[in-house]
Amino acid sequence: MFVYEFMRNAFWAATFIAITCGVVGVYVVARNFSFLAHTLSEIGFAGAAFAILMGLKPLTGMLIFALLGSIGVGELSMQTEQKESSISAISAFFVGLGILFLSLSSSSSSYATNILFGSIIGVSRSSVYQLVGLSVVVLLIIFAIQRPLNYDSFDHIGAAAHHINTGFIGVVFLVALAMAVSIGSQMVGSMLVFVLLTMPSSTARYLGKSIPSMLAWSVGLALLGVWAGLCLGYITNWPVTFFISVIEVTAYLLVYFTQAIKKRA
């Protein structure tokens, strides 16, 4: 299958996306941001639809919307009491907006399918460069703040008592998250990007007891999912996204039940 350039492109893009989502996901779960990640993907969906309406690349629109959204939603989630319901309201509004943009743009419905459910096979060489570049930026951001990010994500009270500027760390992380959501959506679609962002890292929480080991498990499981998903998609012609979600969810359930049985014993 690697004789085809489109498959090689897909593999490279998938590899970097999986590494990024695996790393970012560890912090998403540690900070209880799963819900926020999902909201950002819905805001990003509206952005992608808006870009199509304007004749831009979906990734561009998604990045802009998700980045702006991350700042707004972040503020909201830190201040409001009823954050879940207010964030739900925002997601609903943006999904509605996205549907409107898509219908106004009168482009083919395959665009909508691609944004919602991913379109990694057929990604162009230049898009691969873009995705790899963005992945590297996200990883560099995480690397630059890793020490306070680790402390704040896994012990917010301890970090605050050590005069760590937890508000600043939170905002920087949200920016990285918005970018991760945007590039992850290119792979599995905005509908299911939280699968890559939360499933491998949730599984990793059962398997690792230190931050390095959780990162390793999370990235490993994300890579396993996208690589196997691409292969199986190539062989069967079924959607890659389907295989990725089945693999990640199966891994999670397996580990979850093994752990539950161990605890009982």
Residues interacting with another protein, by CB under 8 A?
A: 146-147, 150-151, 154-163, 205-206, 208-212, 214
Neighbouring C-beta atoms of residue 197, cutoff 10 Å: 32
Nearest distance in Å: CB 204, another protein: 8
Nearest distance in Å: CB 74, another protein: 19
Q: For residue 150, which amino acid is it? A: N
> Which residue lies nearer to another protein by CB, 119 or 150?
150
Q: How far apart are CA 228 and CA 234, in angstroms?
A: 10
Helix (H) or strand (E) holding 207: helix 193-207
> Which residue lies nearer to another protein by CB, 53 or 145?
145
DSSP for 41-104?
Answer: HHHHHHHHHHHHHHTS-HHHHHHHHHHHHHHHHHHHHHH-SSHHHHHHHHHHHHHHHHHHHHHH
CA distances from 233 to 7, 10, 61, 109, 226 (A): 11, 12, 27, 21, 10
Nearest distance in Å: CB 210, another protein: 4
Nearest distance in Å: CB 91, another protein: 26
Residues near 6 by beta carbon (within 8 Å), at least 6 away in sequence:
121, 122, 123
Integer Rg of the chain from CA: 18
> Which residue lies nearer to another protein by CB, 185 or 203?
203
HEC-encoded secondary structure of 167-198: HHHHHHHHHHHHHHHHHHHHHHCCCCHHHHHH
> Which residue lies nearer to another protein by CB, 125 or 162?
162
> Which residue lies nearer to another protein by CB, 129 or 256?
256
Nearest distance in Å: CB 16, another protein: 21
Nearest distance in Å: CB 188, another protein: 25
> Which residue lies nearer to another protein by CB, 186 or 201?
201
> Which residue lies nearer to another protein by CB, 151 or 242?
151
What count of Cα atoms within 13 Å lies in the side-chain half-sphere of residue 61?
Answer: 22
Nearest distance in Å: CB 148, another protein: 9
